[in-house]
Amino acid sequence: MSDERNVIIVGSGPAGLTAAIYTARANLRPLVIEGEPSSTSDQPGGQLMLTTDVENYPGFPDGIMGPELMMNFRAQAERFGAEFLTEKVTKVDFSGRPFRVWVRDEEYVADSIIVSTGAQSLMLGLEAETRLLGHGLSTCATCDGFFFRGQNIAVVGGGDSAIEEATFLTKFADKVTIIHRRDELRASKIMQDRAFANDKIEFLWNHTVEDILGTDKVEGVSVTSTVDGTVSTLDVTGLFIAIGHRPNTDLFAGQLEMHDNGYLVTKPDSSYTNVDGVFACGDVQDSTYRQAITAAGSGCMAAIDAERWLEAQHD
Ligand code: NAP
């Protein structure tokens, strides 16, 4: 068993690394268990490691590449003494204090925990997704819509996310085709009406995405009809996948309170979970905003909450 820590941070996207910067500067010597490089769900640096240009992170007027931004976050945390373990947490026990966290057989203990394991966009499972993500293929219209000015693009999905993303994308694109596997939408009526009334949105009903075409950028989408199996090509230069998100919370099942959709519950206006001393920040507890800047902001909140909570325990 390793030394008892003040705080262990699980996950290293914008939320976890901001929490690391703040707790390190508060002399809490945080240990960040940052994830496993080979993984696409809990890789060090989080979802920004899978993106290219980030143009909406304040402070970078010319934009910055997602991985570079996260390397900067990490270097800043290291500068103040944060320690990093490039591994994946395999088990936790928050039933008593100190809290216990395992990486395979190795046990780590801490007085407080900050959970920042993030979320992942559900993907279609095509080989082309790995190749083209960030090169015309995106999972975030708010992040990448701007790059598709004047283009013909498509969105996959039929829920609120797909309709919201498609509607947002019409600010930039000339035409947005929503590819949906059924002939009716799951999205709420009001969102549907908005999409039906939008001249720039077209629907390709009863179709699934067979493949995404292009070697180093999206050049089209191969679609199959679920009615008669016909395969055709949609001539688009961008594709947004909006078939839902999944928070990375399996590790905490039965220990931390979750909403029905699996996101962690935090107390209003704070990062407190239902377990005193365990805090949550970033996408793992946010199904609404999902932005790097909001994640970073909530990481700062978690660090301050943890610092004050630890202080109160010592008092
Ligand atoms: P969702 O409601 O689960 O919808 C996912 C959509 O993707 C469904 O239409 C589904 O098709 C389709 N889909 C799933 N897997 C697929 C696959 N492998 N291939 C093709 N299509 C696939 O997810 P969501 O739209 O992300 O919404 C999640 C929650 O957030 C919902 O409760 C939603 O109301 C909420 N939300 C609200 C807002 C808002 O109010 N502004 C915005 C976004 C999200 P089927 O319909 O055939 O199952």
The Å distance, Cα 159 to ligand 1 centre, comes to 3
| pLDDT confidence of residue 43 | 81
The Å distance, Cα 23 to ligand 1 centre, comes to 36
The residues annotated with a catalytic role in the active site are: 140, 143-144
Structural domains in the chain, CATH included, are: 5-120+245-314 (3.50.50.60), 123-241 (3.50.50.60)
Token pair belonging to 195: 């999409």
- Contacts for 46 with CB less than 8 Å, ≥ 6 apart: 11, 12, 13, 14, 15, 16, 35, 70, 118, 282, 283, 295
Cβ–Cβ contacts within 10 Å for residue 315, how many?
Answer: 5
| pLDDT confidence of residue 303 | 98
Q: Which residue type does 168 have?
A: F
How far apart (Å, rounded) are the C-alpha atoms in residues 157 and 187?
9
Atom 32, ligand 1: residue with shortest CA distance: 160
How far apart (Å, rounded) are the C-alpha atoms in residues 161 and 86?
33
The Å distance, Cα 84 to ligand 1 centre, comes to 36
Cβ–Cβ contacts within 10 Å for residue 90, how many?
Answer: 12
| pLDDT confidence of residue 41 | 65
| pLDDT confidence of residue 48 | 87
**Any ligand 1 atom below 6 A from CB of 121:** no
Atom 2, ligand 1: residue with shortest CA distance: 159
Query: Is the CB of residue 19 less than 8 Å from the CB of residue 46?
Result: no
| pLDDT confidence of residue 40 | 60
**Any ligand 1 atom below 6 A from CB of 159:** yes
Query: Is the CB of residue 4 less than 8 Å from the CB of residue 111?
Result: yes
| pLDDT confidence of residue 2 | 60
Q: For the chain, count helices (H), then strands (E).
A: 7, 19
* b/e 177-207 (16+ beta carbons within 10 angstroms → b): bbbbeeeebebeeebbebbeeeebbebbbbb
pLDDT string in tens for the chain (315-residue length): 468 999 999 999 999 999 999 999 999 999 999 998 866 667 899 888 877 788 899 999 999 999 999 999 999 999 999 999 999 999 999 999 999 999 999 999 999 999 999 999 999 999 999 999 999 999 999 889 999 999 999 999 999 999 999 999 999 999 999 999 999 999 999 999 999 999 999 999 999 999 999 999 999 999 999 999 999 999 999 999 999 999 999 999 999 999 999 999 999 999 999 999 999 999 999 999 999 999 999 999 999 999 999 999 988
How far apart (Å, rounded) are the C-alpha atoms in residues 50 and 138?
10
**Any ligand 1 atom below 6 A from CB of 161:** yes
The single-letter DSSP state of residue 244 is: -
